Amino acid sequence: MSEIMRMIPFENMVEWMLDEYKDQGSIFGIRKDKMYKNKSGKNVVMFGDEISSPVGPAAGPNAQLAQNIVASYLAGSRFIELKTVQVMDGEELRNCIPRPCINAQDEGFNVEWSTELTVEEAQSEYIKAWFAVQVIAKELGISNQRDFAYNMSVGYDLAGIQTPKIDGYIEGMKDASNTKVFKECQEYLLNNLGQFKNVTKDDVMAISPNICQSITLSTMHGCPPEEIEKIARYLMKEKNIHTFVKCNPTLLGYEFAKNILSEMGYGFEFGTHHFDNDLQYDDGIAMIKRLMEFGASLNLSFGVKLTNTFAMPINNKELPGEEMYMSGRSLYPLTISLANKLSKAFDGKLPISFSGGADHFNIEDIIKTGIQPITFATTILKPGGYERIKQLADDVEGAMKGEFKGIDLEALNTLATDVVNNKHHLKSARPVESRKTDSVLLLFDCAKAPCKDGGCPINQQIPEYLQLVSDKKYDEAFKVIATDNASPAVTGTICDHQCQHKCTRLDYDTSLEIRNMKKIAVMNAQDKFIASMKVANIASDKKVAIVGAGPGGVATALFLRRNGVDVTIFEKRQEAYGIVKYVIPGFRISDEIINKDVDMAKKAGVRFEFGVDENISVANLKKDYDYVVLAIGAWKEGVSPVKEGAENLKDALAFLEDFKSNDGKISLGKTVAVIGGGDVAMDCARAAKRVPGVEKVMIVYRRTKAFMPAQPEEKADALADGVEFKELLGPVSYKDGVLTCEYMELGERDASGRKSVKGTGKTTTINIDTVVGATGARIDTTLFEKNSVKLDSKGYPVINTNNESGLAGVYIAGDCKAGASTIVKAIADGKVIAEDILGKVGLKADFVRYSYPQDEKTIYDRKGVLADKRGDESDGKRCLVCDQICEICCDVCPNRANVVVKVDSGFNQKHQILHIDGMCNECGNCGVFCPHTGNPYKDKITLFWTEEDFVNSTNKGFVQTGDKTFKVRKEDGSIVDYTLDEKGVISDQMSAVLKTVLKDYDYYTMSL
């Protein structure tokens, strides 16, 4: 089965490291520029070991296999918590773990626990890495002596720990000199010193067999305090080893945990079960005190590991199973709070090993409190992967202070007190859950920038213009923008920027400020661009009439006219841009901005006729025009949100138009309620706050704020303006100034991902002077019906993929197509229609695709580096240029099972992804972050190390069966025998990858 991990023999591992470094300048994907070397000479002392950094991987997936540990060390880890071992191991344990078992999309969730290897195999991996790290550190000049330490982790009860299996493991890690693997590694290195330039016999012989000086005890939920204490005493007295006991965040108590997570926006649902059955705080304090005294009597250190992951039910299908374990940025407030509470109880003298949401944005502050070591898992399971560790090691290097001297209680208390307002740990810091798009993950050529491919309806060339703006090449940047965007000024100001919700930087810190970068280009270059525009010559005798001068109509017209088609827009109002012009408040977008885009269309040669009869006849238009585009918007009042008193409500669009046309000088009374939770509702509420005499404005919504469809920034702006949010209230009636609402409650999530909602039968009343209904505008179908445009059961026009209706040559664009939508989607309609009409009249559309390749080293240097948004044109320097180099699946794989193969020819992209089956345990992490719908560990071309694994898999790929022979599962799923250079048996692409692997990456291949 593909979840079975095959261990790399030590000989192969050493050759792999040396060959990859020589050929690629990397080791297990860690590039030499991302390899950490302590430059300050500062260190920390852990149990007598001087180590050059107090950071490293927690006992999890990044410390399970030898290559994981090597990669972790190279990137900067110097305190390495080895993955937990227990009596249940190997196949027995693997069968208990559902797949996928990791989801680190935002908060970390997992359903795995101890090592999936046998205990003997785990020990072998740890010892192989012990040797590999020391020789590669010496060879590369990272350190001339061991500058790291291991910490082993065992569980879960005394009986299991005392078995020969676990006892042998502990003793073997304390002194490995008699273990088979230690002798084999030592012998291999001594016999192959010729492979090294800087490693001598003395260096090899100096590698100590005393591998672990410390241990962390991990126990199951509900383990009695007597059992925990008994095990800790056993480890210190009988095993003579420094000991940490891993504590659960449940020590904080249910109410505290529930309240702080809720206050920070996490909608976790969990009960009191673990809080009631886990170690209780008072018992824990007494136990820790006794164990500290006991350890001191033996000249051993005792401390606590804070914290274990947080157990909670699986309610939203994050992972298979019934219960999962939470980690990452949502665990941090619990862990730092518990660290603070325990440190106060022990006057700062309790040693703490910290692991709970540490990352770049908090690790320096944590280390300055005196807490050490600090380990992590979730952050290095995200894009950037192991290479994030270098930044973390750099962050703390200046703050290292040798041995543990106690904790700065004031500094720690400040961290714990301020955590509820820490922007990096609030749930709202991430505006969306998944960044995935709906594209299929291809076997080859899969790199893409999801911001423009899947995120932007008009496929704006975002990485290209971000680079140009960041280089202050505004004129060139605007040219790129205007190629695809007929409303750059408008979208640079109020676009809903779904591109930013697909940006890879969301998985690092915050998305790039793509909309703002567009605005910068607009303000610096659009006027000049318009001034330089020349009207294109008419290149066709076909003419186009467009009804409606909103964003969709203007976009269609501009794209057609600049390509040589005669276009006229007919608009019933006196100015262009529809709802943008007449409804969206001036505090969101000014006339000056709107006019920039109007002027651009006019300068392109688009003719506007304003004040036309709204009952325009398509048949009459067709007498003078060959094509007609209906872009009339969605202006009809929405369905009333109340059952009684609907006539007393103000419609959202009518209200906003009234507000805008009268400069806000309207009469609303003192209290205003807006029913709805979308962007229009936010506009209404913010507008009402600006009306003279209004004292109180509230949003009334059936669900909670978290499930409001409005953009996060729009909600934030409304709150900043003083708008109140009334959640879980379903409006029932409004009459005589009284709004009656039913209390609602959330249920299961529906198909949209939002929680369903149902009434409780209980009601409340609110005295309100004005109620605005903002639950969605509708399409007025009168014009369609008069002109025989066929409608579907929802009242939407029936159209084909090119937006053409059942009437030949009559197209539909914008909100009137399927209801109120977004500006950029209306522009996308214009682009689709323009391309179709241009094709019909024999003209080629000018949607040029630009190429500004960036230096690969520059892109790689940005990987693994977290940084706050910059707020100016330099923000583009955070761009990861994903369509040039993606490789996220390689970053996030803890086992290094996804690798890059650079193929010289036969592909659109030089960088291809190869999956190495023997290194994969199907944790699923690569699939979480892949921007496509697929899973790289299943869908990418795969190299197998054994025929058994090849047969037991469905992955397309190959296994070597002889010197030049292979079994290959082809793209269609069929299996063939293939001899190298044999023609016509496998595809050219499969052959190219296979040959490249053999030629340039032969260390990936091995027969086990």
Q: What is the mean pLDDT of the chain?
A: 97
pLDDT at 310: 97
Q: Please name the amino acid found at residue 739.
A: L
Q: Are the C-beta atoms of residues 490 and 598 closer than 8 Å to each other?
A: no
Indicate which CATH number applies to the domain containing 377.
3.20.20.70
Q: What's the CA dihedral at 492, 498, 502, 503 to 10 degrees?
A: 20
Whether residue 375 sits in one domain with residue 485 = no
Alpha carbon distance 299, 331 (integer Å): 33
Indicate which CATH number applies to the domain containing 580.
3.50.50.60
Alpha carbon distance 26, 9 (integer Å): 20
Whether residue 133 sits in one domain with residue 198 = yes
| 446 inside domain | no
Whether residue 786 sits in one domain with residue 769 = no
Whether residue 939 sits in one domain with residue 977 = yes
Residue 572 forms beta bridges with which residues?
none
86-116 pLDDT per residue, tens: 999 999 999 999 999 999 999 999 999 999 9
212-231 pLDDT per residue, tens: 999 999 999 999 999 999 99
Residues 364-375 have a mean pLDDT of 98
Whether residue 448 has pLDDT greater than 90: yes
Residue at which a domain ends, from 429, 444, 474: 429
Residue at which a domain ends, from 383, 411, 429: 429
- DSSP per-residue string spanning 933-944: SS-HHHHS-EEE
204-214 pLDDT per residue, tens: 999 999 999 99
| 351 inside domain | yes
Whether residue 804 sits in one domain with residue 722 = no
Q: Are the C-beta atoms of residues 738 and 766 closer than 8 Å to each other?
A: yes
Whether residue 224 sits in one domain with residue 320 = yes
Whether residue 801 sits in one domain with residue 656 = no
| 10 inside domain | no
pLDDT at 749: 78
Whether residue 932 has pLDDT greater than 60: yes
Axis crossing angle, helix 66-75 with helix 10-24, rounded to the nearest 10: 40
Whether residue 861 sits in one domain with residue 792 = no
pLDDT band at 1007 (very low <50, low <70, confident <90, very high): confident
Residue positions counted in the chain:
1008
Whether residue 1 has pLDDT greater than 70: no
| 9 inside domain | no
Whether residue 664 sits in one domain with residue 615 = no
849-907 pLDDT per residue, tens: 999 999 999 999 999 999 999 999 999 999 999 999 999 999 999 999 999 999 999 99
| 514 inside domain | yes
Residue at which a domain ends, from 407, 429, 451: 429
Whether residue 486 has pLDDT greater than 90: yes
| 441 inside domain | no
Pairing of strands 310-313, 323-327: antiparallel
pLDDT at 755: 83
Q: SS3 sequence, 876-900?
A: HHHCCCCCCCCCHHHHHCCCCCEEE
395-421 pLDDT per residue, tens: 999 999 899 999 999 999 999 999 999
The count of structural domains within the chain is 5
264-277 pLDDT per residue, tens: 999 899 999 999 99
Domain span holding position 958: 888-1004
Alpha carbon distance 199, 104 (integer Å): 39
Whether residue 242 sits in one domain with residue 174 = yes
Return the closest-CA partner of residue 957 out of 948, 970, 947.
Answer: 970
Alpha carbon distance 986, 984 (integer Å): 6
CB crowding 300-339: b at 16 or more within 10 Å, else e: bbbbbbbbbbbbbeeeeebbeeeebbbbbbbbbbbbbbbb
Whether residue 751 has pLDDT greater than 90: no
Whether residue 860 sits in one domain with residue 835 = no
pLDDT at 2: 74
Give me the percent of the chain exceeding a pLDDT of 70: 100
pLDDT at 284: 98
pLDDT at 752: 67
pLDDT band at 559 (very low <50, low <70, confident <90, very high): very high
Residue partners of 769: CB distance under 8 A and separation at least 6:
668, 669, 670, 671, 672, 737
| 545 inside domain | no
Whether residue 73 sits in one domain with residue 111 = yes
pLDDT at 519: 99
| 500 inside domain | yes
